[in-house]
Chains A and B, each alone.
Chain A
Amino acid sequence: MHEGFFLRLAAPGVALNMSGEATQATLLAGHIRLVADLRDRRAFAALFEHFAPRVKSYMLRLGATAAQAEDLAQETMLTLWRKAESFDPARAGAATWVFTIARNLRIDAIRRERLIEPGEPPEDAEAPDMAADAAMAVEQEEGRMRAALAALPEEQAMLLRMSFYEDYAHGDISARLGMPLGTVKSKLRRAMLRLREALEDLR
């Protein structure tokens, strides 16, 4: 098991690192804007260097072969290039946006036939002229999220990680940890509640 990896979530260094991380998030979001507005290849290269190895890692964790993970990371970055205009920093941070692209491409790859993506809810009409303020709020939210994650009980944090990084339905997590399914679910529910509360304070 990746114990060190799980533990890192609760490490105090994560919280201390908040301002540095937020700056990087702003930088990445700026790069995506450059790609959207100017088709800036250097910005794309910087995004590639940052995200592709992480997306590859994510795909590997979910059971992809090295070749599949490499391809899905390539597809994710190409999608970023093509859809950069749809990145709305007022709605999501750069990493969150890239995560959703990677997640959706993985689901698509699993399908035998290509279908529409049913997971995409209609866009909310949010005032675009507020973008700058909202982007700041998203950045604050991300810092808050990181702190909230770091403050979660270790077990809840581990279950959250397993939800994202191991291709297990909750029933399988339950079997693997020898923890009753109801317990897994209630711990995840508590974790989600805490995260929501942590973000609501901000709104």
Chain B
Amino acid sequence: MSASHHPSDETLLAHATGGLDEAYRAVVATHLAGCAACRATVRVAEQVGGDLLASIERVPMRADALERAMARLDEPAPPPVPRPVATAGLPDTLAGYGMGRWRPMARGLAVATLLTPEGGRAGLHLLRIAPGMHLAQHGHRGLEMTSVLQGAFRDGEQVYRAGDVAETSDDDDHAPMAIGDEVCVCLIALSGRLRFRHWVFRLLQPLIGF
């Protein structure tokens, strides 16, 4: 599967630095698992990290640091942390993120929130959208990053299919719509609340929870 919409270079760079909030990191990691081109870009950025590490000024370790390290070399390696199993139907990159229950938001639309233990500023959610259903027109204060896990959606002229990533930032207003025959499942990371254009949705927002 080769994606046609990728995270931006600056997002891949931020991923390589380790500076992305956990929610965005999960979305990017999910895309990377299936995209060799983006993995190559991340490797370029990691090389920058390696180069900077090679030229950073050194800060002396404690006087006994090497001795301490050498003393630990014979310690048995800690038993491998058992890999949490991903919830059925979800990619492995989401293993370990506790998943809340599906909450219906509207006909043909349900949301489940994933728990992000680092407690970053961005939230991570799964969205199930029935074909033909569209999200209410909304804007964002922060960055919304969406990875399509199943099915497809259209946003304006663009069509996003499984493996694709959509980044929407700042004040872009949009009203994405699920297309095709299959239920569209998306992984969405967003910081800041959505700003729905229609007052009914603004009213419902506290109930929807994002």
Contacts and interface: CB of A to CB of B under 8 A. Distances in A.
Given A92-B46, A163-B14, A119 B54 contact: no
Interface in B85-128: 93-97, 117-119
Contacts of A192: 9-10, 12-13, 41, 44-45
Given A95-B51, A111-B117, A57 B14 contact: no
Nearest to B66: A48
Contact of A52 (B8, B65, B94): B65
Interface in A79-103: 81-82, 91-100, 102-103
Instruction: Using C-beta atoms within 8 Å of the partner chain, give the interface range for chain B.
Output: 35 or more
A53 B62 CA distance: 10
A118 B93 contact: yes
Contacts of B203: none
Given A41-B73, A96-B46, A73 B61 contact: yes
B143 to A, nearest CB: 9
Interface string A163-194: 11101111000000000010001001100110
B-side interface mostly: helix
Interface string B33-61: 10010010111111111111111111111
Main secondary structure of the interface of A (DSSP, over half): helix
Interface of A: 5, 8-9, 14, 21, 25, 41, 44-45, 48-49, 51-58, 60-61, 69-70, 73-74, 77-78, 81-82, 91-100, 102-104, 106-107, 110-116, 118-122, 124, 141-142, 145-146, 149, 160-161, 163-165, 167-170, 181, 185, 188-189, 192-193, 195-196, 199
